[in-house]
Structure 1
Amino acid sequence: MSWIETIVLGIVQGLTEFLPISSSAHLRITSAIFFDQDAGASFTAVTQLGTEAAVLVYFAKDIWRITRTWVVGIWDSSVRSSLDYRMGWYVIVGSIPIGIFGVLFKDQIRTAARNLWLVATVLIVFAFVLAFAEFWGRQSRIIKDFRMRDGVVMGFAQAMALVPGVSRSGGTLTAGLFLNLTRETAARYSFLLAIPAVVMSGVFSIPDVFDRTGHAPSGAQMIVATVIAFAVGYAAIAWLLRYVAHHTLYVFVLYRVALGSLVLALLMTGTIAAT
């Protein structure tokens, strides 16, 4: 892997991880168009450690408060009615689906799911699902209204993002809107929900990212890409939270359709290869 590819993919990961446009799809498409080869699912998983580190830093106070309250609540029943205690369980239970599906379909995620015909199609199809959720959702429920059912539904929505093109944040935001949560509430839970799954996936993918013939990054390149993803991702978190509080998600719908259509056109003309 060249240093240019390392830097570009690190920036792409940081810019797209938290937007409902699928960072894994963008890494796959960027690799195909500009570098004529797939950086791989493991590279994506490891660079996501950088963007999740940004989440840990940005939400450090919230994460510490929720974690402390959850641990205390295991022994002290007086705190179990608090939102922080319940949120700890919501994140744990909501993380189970992606863990199960990630293990069951590991091989398919690394191979067939990265076919660009599928990626482009999924980008477009789920754009319309997101648009319908934005149109239909009443956005009448805030964070204090969050319940276990919401965590489970959004957890399954997150698991769908194992297919590049769905988007982890896009899936959870869509599910949240269908549950009538406000965009900001859905986004905040989405950030917290991603932490266990993404960190575990990234850690377990570290050995795999170097076990590739002909196109593996060096250790230094992997570190640089992850650090870049952290820095860009941190700025993206702040921007997205401000954006969703005051704007609809239709701009991302249009972008997904445009990008998916472009990739399909490039595939049809033989400009890029599907695998």
Structure 2
Amino acid sequence: MEYLRFIVYGLIQGLTEFLPISSTAHLKVISIFLGIDDPGPSLSATIQLGSVLAIVWYFRNDIFNFRGQSSKKILYYFLHERLLRSIFIGTIPIVLLGGSIKLFVPNFLDNILRSNLSIALVSIVMAFFMYLADSSKRGSIDIKNHNYSDSFLIGFFQALAIFPGVSRSGITISSALISGWERRDAAKFSFLLGMPAISLAAIVEFIFSFNEFFSIGFLPLLVGLITTFLSSLFAIDFLLRYFSSNGLKIFIIYRVIFGVVILLNL
């Protein structure tokens, strides 16, 4: 049962991290529905590392193009590659906001914003924001021609994803669309921008909850990470293919239904 529980966590995390429907909200709500423990923010953040590995693997040709290059050229790449600098700039807001909350109000998210009522209301509000984004004019900004101010703006909205129910991918893709990004590159940049944000969240939660992980067991956690990795690969590929042609409509409808169902069962 322990392994099955972590497989469920991994499937939920992997499928919902990149689909714009909020992984944190689904980990909590579906766990309650299935009668298993809410993994909580610490375990949730750690399992998310499987999603980071999936991003690195899926976009390995975009991130690592080092074949035949010297170590000097590799160092130059990391210092001067435009995309990497954009990701760094876009990560600054979530580090400042998330770090401030973790240091000064450590139980803020658990006690106030992780309730079913809060998640339901946030889900419906996010559906409205995604509708505005999906209705905006098709843009022409992409990964190659964007400005660093575009990166920072999307990063600012990404910082709001620390609140359960928002959805990191949902708010970053939507803010990119409103800013005039092309659909596929909006999703692609959202995924790449998630690498440092998700990794830092997992590292911080692991440090703050170090003793808690000794009671979990290595093998169940490994099963959860592998399941997260595989389901994340599927979600990334599906969203890139589906979203480019169909937009956010199906996810908007789903988020409204998800929020309403939770409200009806309070």
Normalising by structure 2, what TM-score? 0.89
Q: Given the superposition, is the C-alpha separation of residues 6 and 134 from structure 1 closer, same or farther in structure 2, using an over 3 Å criterion?
A: same
Which amino acid is the alignment partner of residue 190 of structure 1? S
Structure 1 vs Structure 2 CA RMSD: 2.3
CA contact (8 A) 1:21 1:256 kept: yes
Report whether the alignment pairs 1:72 with 2:80.
Answer: no
3-state SS, counterpart of residue 83 of structure 2: helix
Q: Given the superposition, is the C-alpha separation of residues 217 and 149 from structure 1 closer, same or farther in structure 2, using an over 3 Å criterion?
A: same
Q: Given the superposition, is the C-alpha separation of residues 124 and 73 from structure 1 closer, same or farther in structure 2, using an over 3 Å criterion?
A: same
Map of 1:139 onto structure 2: 139
CA contact (8 A) 1:143 1:185 kept: yes
Map of 1:261 onto structure 2: 260
Q: Given the superposition, is the C-alpha separation of residues 178 and 111 from structure 1 closer, same or farther in structure 2, using an over 3 Å criterion?
A: same
Map of 2:100 onto structure 1: 104
**Equivalent residues in 2 for 1:1-275, closer than 5 Å:** 2-35=2-35, 37-65=37-65, 71-72=75-76, 85-106=81-102, 107=106, 108-208=108-208, 211-212=211-212, 217-267=216-266
3-state SS, counterpart of residue 56 of structure 1: helix
- Once the two structures are TM-superposed, the CA of residue 112 in structure 1 deviates from its matched residue by 2.1
Stretches of structure 2 lacking an aligned partner (at least 5 in a row): 67-71
Note the alpha carbon deviations across 1:238-272, whole angstroms, 9 max, x for none. Answer: 111111221111100000000011111111xxxxx
In structure 2, what is the Cα distance between the partners aligned to 1:266 and 1:160?
26
In structure 2, what is the Cα distance between the partners aligned to 1:185 and 1:252?
18
Note the alpha carbon deviations across 1:192-246, whole angstroms, 9 max, x for none. Answer: 1111111122123235556459xx6322211111110001111211111111221
Number of residue-to-residue matches in the alignment: 257
In structure 1, what is the Cα distance between the partners aligned to 2:159 and 2:32?
25
CA contact (8 A) 1:23 1:167 kept: yes
Stretches of structure 1 lacking an aligned partner (at least 5 in a row): 268-275
Percent identity of paired positions between Structure 1 and Structure 2 = 36
